[in-house]
């Protein structure tokens, strides 16, 4: 008798387990994050994990789809009336999760608050500085004026979520001015947003609880204006160690993880899990110092890298397909530009840079380096997917064509200090185009260094070509999309033809999901729980 009872108990416990598991699968989504957001405040830290989290709770005026093309968010329409004036039509009937209506006042308040966020380590002023005037024509129409033509304004407006003016303590009347707004009241500190009562937005989810380092819970916002997401509740847990993240997925602790390590993907798929991967907006490139001789790591009072033939030789010496197949296990795409097609400003018919070691040796001989030279390749070893091994492979490939290459691999924080101090003649790094169009990588990596024009900020190779600069500056002042794209394409082609910079590949971003779930890979690499769906049965 006792034995039967135990078995009956066990069986009912099993049945109960099965039931809760089934119910949980339909209502909850548990995500293992590769890196944790530093705050719930959408305007505190302009960084991937923070921006991805913000998209759940706060909606921007304009949203980006999976390939970063713009689509309506809280704004239904935006148009340039002339070169420096934009009319933005806001969505009607939208309410915040506390029930208050969304109006133009909230937008003005948000733009006013962004420069006031205390201690922001990476503020969003980057995206609001083009705005010179912001006025509400009525509750649902905004007129934005800019100092000069600002064709990227819609892209910039897609980077930050709108917060509630009333909850943040604004007065009835908020007016914008570049010298300081009025009616803003005391701008809230970022830490206040960690409180669910304060983190009020118009997004598909509401903040339920937030324990730093442990977990973040979101619950569905039933008053959201857009499509209702599939999950009642989303739980995000930071699982920064890749092995632990994979284990948590395999053990069923989470339903979805970010960035499974490339070498584990076959095993994860073999166990019946789903892998979703797609091109990201991030290019992995090698920058070659083109400043005056001497340059660090190359002996003598010469800088061979100033010669475009030498740069071309180094570009042709890299076997991008071997890197893709053997190191990245298929999770990269060989690059011929700084942004993958069909993103805005790319030349879709331009192939990846071919592998041609013979031509590389010829070019080196033509440039007077038949016997090669030696160089040090700097690289981070914990920042990009397989960054250290890629550099090792490139070093071997360069050595094969006669350029003796030594790798100097460091942790990212040490690498970046050296890089920004111009201590490398050649370094490997990555660039993600936040705006999703070509002016971002060209302006930062290729344009002549010029802080006043905000150009060449990461051009630590000191490349300088006024022709590219002129095309780029013109593009940045051209509001017409077709014309701007033509200019950007031309600038990109020119930069690639002169080997201003040597792209290697575009990273593919990968997610692993429990069986029965699907997620469309996003170029911006954001993990958006609201867009994870159960596969149709």
Partner 1 sequence: MVAYLLRRLGQSLLAVIAMAVLVFVGVYAIGNPVDILINPEATENQRLEIMARMGLDRPLWEQFWVYFGNLLQGDFGRSFVYGESAMSVILQRLPATMELALFALVLAIVLGVPLGVIAGLKPDTMTGRGIMAGSILGFSLPNFWQGLMLILIFAVFLGWLPAGGRGETTEFLGMRVSFLNLDGLQHMILPAINLALFKMALVIRLARAGTREVMTQDYIKFARAKGLSHRRVVLVHVLKNIMIPVVTILGLELGSMIAFAVITETVFAWPGMGKLLIDSINRLDRPVIVAYLMLIVFIFVLINFLVDVLYSVLDPRVRLAQRGAQ
Q: What angle do CA 138, 144, 150 make, to 5 degrees?
A: 160
Query: Of these, 14, 252, 330, 348, which contacts partner 1 (CB under 8 A)?
Result: 252
Sign of CA dihedral 133, 182, 46, 70: negative
Separation between Cα atoms, residue 393 and residue 51, nearest integer Å: 34
Which of 29, 30, 50, 42 is closest to 526 using CA atoms?
A: 50
Give the separation between CA 451 and CA 431, rounded to whole angstroms.
Answer: 19
Residue in 180, 330, 368, 457 binding partner 1, rule: CB under 8 A:
457
CB of 428 to partner 1, least distance (A): 15
Nearer to partner 1, 72 or 123 (CB): 123
Q: Does position 238 bind partner 1 by CB under 8 A?
A: yes
Is 383 exposed, middle or buried, given 0-12, 13-18 or 19+ CB atoms closer than 10 A? middle
Q: Which of 76, 276, 400, 458 binds partner 1 (CB under 8 A)?
A: 458
For the bound state, the minimum distance from the C-beta of residue 240 to partner 1, rounded and expressed in Å, comes to 7
Stretch that binds partner 1, among 101-109, 216-224, 236-244, 513-521 (CB under 8 A): 236-244
- Contact segment (CB under 8 A) with partner 1 among 59-67, 75-83, 113-121, 474-482 equals 113-121
For partner 1, the binding residues in 378-397 under the rule CB under 8 A are 382
Using a CB cutoff of 8 Å and minimum separation of 24, what contacts does 464-468 make? 464/290, 465/494, 465/495, 465/498, 465/500, 467/494, 468/442, 468/494, 468/495, 468/500
170 to 209: interface string for partner 1, x by CB under 8 A? -------------------xxx------------------
| Residue selected from 24, 83, 123, 185 as contacting partner 1 according to rule CB under 8 A | 123
For residue 509, list its beta bridge partners: 278
Which CB sits closer to partner 1, 229 or 380? Answer: 380
Binding residue count for partner 1, defined by CB under 8 A: 54
CB neighbour class for 184 (10 Å; exposed up to 12, middle 13-18, buried from 19): buried
Start-end of H helices in 380-449: 387-400, 412-420, 439-441
Nearer to partner 1 among residue 405 and residue 492 (C-beta): 492
Q: Where in 126-145 is the site for partner 1 (CB under 8 A)?
A: 126
Distance CA 422, CA 419 (A): 5
Binding residues for partner 1, rule: CB under 8 A, are 36, 38-39, 44-47, 118-123, 125-126, 189-191, 211-215, 237-241, 243-244, 247-248, 250-253, 382, 411-414, 416-417, 420, 431-432, 434-435, 440, 444, 451, 454, 457-458
């Amino acid at each position: 008798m006792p034995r039967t009872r135990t078995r009956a108990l066990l069986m009912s416990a099993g049945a109960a387990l099965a039931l809760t598991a089934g119910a949980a699968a339909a209502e909850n989504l548990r995500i293992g994050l590769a890196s944790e957001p530093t705050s719930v405040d959408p305007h505190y830290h302009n960084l991937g994990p923070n921006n991805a989290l913000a998209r759940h709770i706060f909606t921007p005026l304009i949203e980006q789809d999976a390939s970063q093309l713009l689509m309506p968010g809280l704004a239904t329409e935006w148009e340039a009336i002339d070169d420096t004036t934009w009319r933005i039509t806001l969505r009607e009937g939208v309410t915040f999760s506390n029930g208050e209506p969304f109006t133009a006042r909230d937008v003005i308040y948000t733009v006013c608050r962004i420069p006031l966020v205390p201690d922001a380590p990476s503020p969003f002023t980057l995206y609001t500085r083009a705005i010179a005037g912001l006025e509400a024509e009525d509750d649902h129409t905004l007129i934005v004026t800019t100092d000069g033509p600002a064709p990227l304004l819609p892209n910039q407006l897609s980077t930050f979520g709108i917060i509630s003016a009333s909850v943040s303590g604004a007065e009835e009347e908020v007016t914008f001015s570049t010298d300081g707004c009025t009616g803003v009241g005391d701008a809230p500190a970022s830490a206040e947003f960690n409180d669910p009562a304060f983190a009020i937005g118009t997004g598909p989810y509401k903040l339920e609880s937030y324990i730093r380092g442990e977990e973040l819970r979101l619950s569905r916002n039933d008053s959201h204006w857009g499509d209702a997401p599939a999950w009642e509740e989303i739980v995000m847990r930071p699982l920064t160690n890749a092995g632990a993240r994979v284990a948590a997925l395999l053990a069923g602790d989470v339903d979805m993880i970010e960035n499974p390590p490339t070498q584990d993907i076959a095993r994860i798929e073999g166990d019946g899990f789903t892998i979703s991967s797609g091109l990201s907006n991030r290019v992995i490139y090698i920058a070659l110092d083109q400043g005056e001789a001497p340059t660090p790591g190359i002996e003598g009072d010469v800088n061979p890298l100033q010669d475009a033939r030498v740069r071309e030789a180094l570009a042709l010496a890299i076997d991008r397909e071997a890197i893709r197949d053997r190191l990245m296990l298929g999770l990269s795409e060989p690059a011929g530009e700084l942004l993958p097609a069909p993103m805005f400003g790319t030349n879709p018919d331009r192939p990846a840079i071919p592998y041609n070691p013979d031509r590389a040796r010829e070019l080196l001989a033509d440039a007077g380096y038949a016997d090669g030279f030696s160089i040090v390749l700097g690289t981070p070893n914990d920042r990009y997917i397989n960054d250290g091994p890629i550099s090792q492979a490139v070093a071997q490939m360069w050595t094969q064509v006669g350029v003796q290459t030594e790798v100097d691999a460091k942790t990212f924080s040490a690498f970046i200090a050296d890089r920004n101090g111009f201590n490398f003649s050649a370094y490997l790094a990555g660039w993600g185009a936040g705006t999703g169009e070509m002016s971002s990588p060209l302006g930062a990596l290729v344009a002549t260094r010029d802080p006043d024009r905000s150009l060449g900020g990461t051009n630590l190779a000191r490349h300088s070509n006024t022709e590219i600069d002129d095309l780029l500056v013109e593009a940045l002042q051209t509001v017409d999309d077709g014309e701007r794209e033509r200019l950007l394409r031309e600038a990109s082609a020119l930069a690639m033809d002169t080997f201003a910079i040597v792209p290697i590949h575009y990273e593919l971003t990968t997610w692993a999901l429990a069986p029965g779930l699907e997620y469309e890979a996003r170029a911006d690499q954001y993990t958006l729980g609201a867009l994870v769906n159960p596969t149709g049965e």
